[in-house]
Amino acid sequence: MRRLLLIGPFILALFLVACDKDNKENPNPNPEPSEKDKILINYPWRMSSVTDLSGKAIPFNQLNAQTQAIKEVMDIQFLQNNVTKAIDQGSKQVINGGTWYLKNENKTLDIKISGFSGEFGVEEISNSKLRLKSKMPVSGVEQETIMVFEPVIK
């Protein structure tokens, strides 16, 4: 009987130690943005070109209507709270919105906006360029491409 009375406090002590350990391992459930996150949220991004994997520019008229609209009409703004907005280049009005997340150790950018959604391979994120790898139709044939974005400096 005495052993049973000692087991209760022992189990309670183990439980409290385990809970304290969890709090120390993850003291901040909302981590600070990474350097790449900070670069993305610094300013809106405008598509400057689409290239093949060798870096050769794909002519505008060979891109599908969706990609042409992104290039000619929209700037993409990434916000710190993982909200993204498609902004009209001329009027600066928000056309559309959604979410974004850098995943897989910053190797994938997951964007969810109507008309521009998917997981894009991150080829480069710097203060002067954003290059995203994607499959898209070029002259009606699906192929690997690199979408090149430049920051819109206000």
Per-residue pLDDT of the chain (154 residues; tens, 9 = 90+): 444 444 444 443 444 444 444 444 444 455 677 889 999 999 999 999 999 999 999 999 999 988 998 899 999 999 999 999 999 999 999 999 999 999 999 999 999 987 678 999 999 999 999 999 999 999 999 999 999 999 998 7
**Please, are residues 87 and 93 in contact by the beta-carbon 8 Å criterion?**
yes
* Structure tokens, 45: 């991004």
DSSP 61-84: GGB-HHHHHHHHHEEEEE-TTSEE
